[in-house]
């Protein structure tokens, strides 16, 4: 199958299908409103794979007497730490456009449990301009730069070591992007009740001296089946292209875990590459990816703050679109619940593969919890 035919079919599928918004648990936060202009947020986020993540956010509005907003975000866990600084002018030159400057840096350590037995650091800088196109849609344009650094890693996948885009253990990437979002999503007190979201993005750039383009499409829909019953679904796809040599590995898409294919470890599906020295397999993502999900559930309790559901997920990442034929996708079936608890949002799922293989990197029980402290 030709890549352009593959992605054209995915766009048609997302346009004709009905899909539901994916509800993700977000860390609860203790908010300290220090003045009318600024606010602190402190919170903890826990899952059974990456363990505890501490997060601190400082938001300052009307910076220096202007209408600019400044956000400082710091996060730390066993496997990663990061810093993000973002400044937004909501009405650039009194126009319908907003402008955002953002800078972030992150250091990720080795985690054998997700087949990533290597460490790396990233630094990102981006300026973006966005505006609403109507009550339900918006568009943004961005120009950015990314640095991917493996200098602190004792070992890397062979794919990375041999990559044309890697120079002095680093990959330098510049890009332009256009993103569009359409949403008719409505929510009650705790959960989405109806509506759809459709998102598209196109990124074009150079990783090292290698030109590339990445197209992404996602669609979700929530359908009420009475006062408490609901059905929802999701589809997402991405495709990468290059006209010079191999596709840059740093623009691959990763699949697996909550939000894609529950029942598999996060980012564990798709192509692997042996580590350069140890020979152990490492997941490296794929040039193409496709995921889908269907849920049927019910909101329970007098406070309507608990949802229980059954689901089926499917998806994979690959370097050949033939490997993303429906019959070749990894599939799981399971049950789950989402609870807006007094401590914070709890999301639990239990899923098993439809056809389990000996080398599957499964994780049947997955949960996330954020709470106030």
Rounded to whole angstroms, the Cα distance separating 366 from 373 reads 23
**pLDDT level of residue 301 (50, 70, 90 thresholds):** confident
> Is 3-371 a domain of CATH 2.170.190.11?
no
Mean pLDDT throughout 18-30? 37
DSSP state at residue 354: S
Rounded mean pLDDT of the chain? 87
Concatenating the DSSP letter of every residue in 63-116 gives: GGGSS-EEEEEEEEESSEEEEEEEEEETTGGGSS-EEEEEEEEEEE--BGGGTB
Q: Is the pLDDT of residue 277 over 90?
A: yes
Ranges 180-194, 289-303, 322-336: which has the least confidence: 180-194
DSSP state at residue 7: H
Burial (CB count within 10 angstroms: exposed 0-12, middle 13-18, buried 19+), residue 147: middle
Rounded to whole angstroms, the Cα distance separating 83 from 100 reads 16
Q: What is the pLDDT of residue 369?
A: 83
Q: Which percentage of the chain shows pLDDT scores above 70?
A: 88
Q: What is the pLDDT of residue 19?
A: 33
Domain boundaries defined on the chain: 3-371
28 versus 178: the higher-pLDDT residue is: 178
CB-CB contact of 292 with 301 (8 Å): no
CB-CB contact of 208 with 165 (8 Å): yes
Mind listing the pLDDT tens digit for each residue in 321-364?
A: 999 999 999 999 999 999 988 878 899 999 999 988 777 889 99
Mind listing the pLDDT tens digit for each residue in 212-239?
A: 999 999 999 999 998 899 999 999 999 9
Q: How many residues does the chain have?
A: 373
Distances (CA, A) of 78 to 57, 112, 231, 281: 19, 13, 36, 22
Q: Is the pLDDT of residue 194 over 90?
A: no
Distances (CA, A) of 115 to 56, 169, 273: 29, 20, 10
Q: Is the pLDDT of residue 106 over 70?
A: yes
**pLDDT level of residue 40 (50, 70, 90 thresholds):** confident
Q: Is the pLDDT of residue 102 over 70?
A: yes
**pLDDT level of residue 189 (50, 70, 90 thresholds):** low
Q: What is the pLDDT of residue 36?
A: 44
Concatenating the DSSP letter of every residue in 17-35 gives: S---PPP------EEE--S
**pLDDT level of residue 188 (50, 70, 90 thresholds):** low
**pLDDT level of residue 27 (50, 70, 90 thresholds):** very low
23 versus 287: the higher-pLDDT residue is: 287
Radius of gyration of the chain (CA): 21
Q: Which of 96, 168, 78, 172 is nearest to 133 (CA)?
A: 96
Q: What is the pLDDT of residue 37?
A: 58
Q: What is the pLDDT of residue 137?
A: 97
- Per-residue b or e along 346-369, where b marks 16 or more CB atoms closer than 10 Å to that residue's CB: bbbbbbebeeeeeeebbbeebbbb
- Per-residue b or e along 119-135, where b marks 16 or more CB atoms closer than 10 Å to that residue's CB: bbbbebebebbbeeeee
Concatenating the DSSP letter of every residue in 267-294 gives: T-BS-EEEBTTT--EEE--BSEEEEEEE
User: Residue 255 forms beta bridges with which residues?
Assistant: 269
Q: What is the pLDDT of residue 371?
A: 63
Q: What is the pLDDT of residue 192?
A: 82
């Amino acid at each position: 199958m030709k890549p352009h035919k593959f992605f054209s079919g995915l766009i048609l599928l997302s346009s004709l299908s009905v899909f539901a918004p994916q509800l993700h648990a977000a860390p609860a936060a203790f908010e300290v409103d220090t003045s009318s202009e600024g606010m602190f947020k402190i919170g903890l986020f826990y899952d059974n794979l990456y363990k505890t993540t501490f997060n601190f956010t400082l938001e300052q509005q009307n910076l220096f007497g202007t209408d600019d907003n400044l956000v400082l975000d710091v996060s730390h866990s066993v496997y990663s730490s990061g810093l993000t600084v973002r400044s937004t002018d909501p009405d650039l030159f009194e126009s319908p456009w907003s402008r955002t400057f953002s800078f972030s840096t992150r250091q990720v350590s080795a985690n054998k449990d997700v087949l990533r037995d290597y460490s790396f650091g990233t630094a990102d800088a981006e300026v973006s301009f966005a505006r609403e196109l109507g009550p339900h849609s918006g568009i943004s344009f961005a120009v950015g730069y990314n640095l991917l650094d493996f200098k602190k890693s004792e070992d890397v996948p062979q794919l990375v070591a041999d990559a044309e885009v890697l120079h002095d253990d680093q990959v330098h990437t510049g890009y332009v992007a256009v993103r569009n979002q359409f949403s008719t999503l409505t929510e009650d007190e705790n959960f989405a009740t109806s509506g759809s979201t459709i998102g598209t993005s196109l990124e074009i750039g150079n990783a090292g001296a290698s030109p590339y383009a990445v197209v992404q499409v996602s669609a979700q829909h929530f359908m009420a089946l009475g006062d408490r019953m609901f059905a929802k679904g999701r589809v997402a796809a991405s495709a990468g292209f290059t006209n010079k040599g191999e596709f840059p590995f740093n623009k691959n898409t990763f699949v697996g875990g909550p939000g894609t294919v529950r029942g598999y470890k996060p980012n564990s599906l798709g192509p692997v590459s042996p580590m350069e020295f140890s020979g152990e397999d490492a997941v490296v993502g794929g040039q193409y990816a496709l995921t889908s999900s269907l849920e049927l559930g019910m909101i329970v309790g007098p406070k309507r703050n608990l949802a229980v559901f059954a689901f089926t997920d499917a998806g994979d990442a690959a370097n050949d679109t033939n490997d993303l034929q429906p019959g070749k996708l990894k599939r799981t079936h399971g049950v789950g619940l989402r609870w807006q608890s007094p401590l914070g949002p709890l999301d639990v799922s239990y899923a098993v593969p439809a056809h389990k293989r000996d080398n599957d990197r499964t994780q049947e029980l997955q949960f996330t919890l954020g709470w106030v402290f």
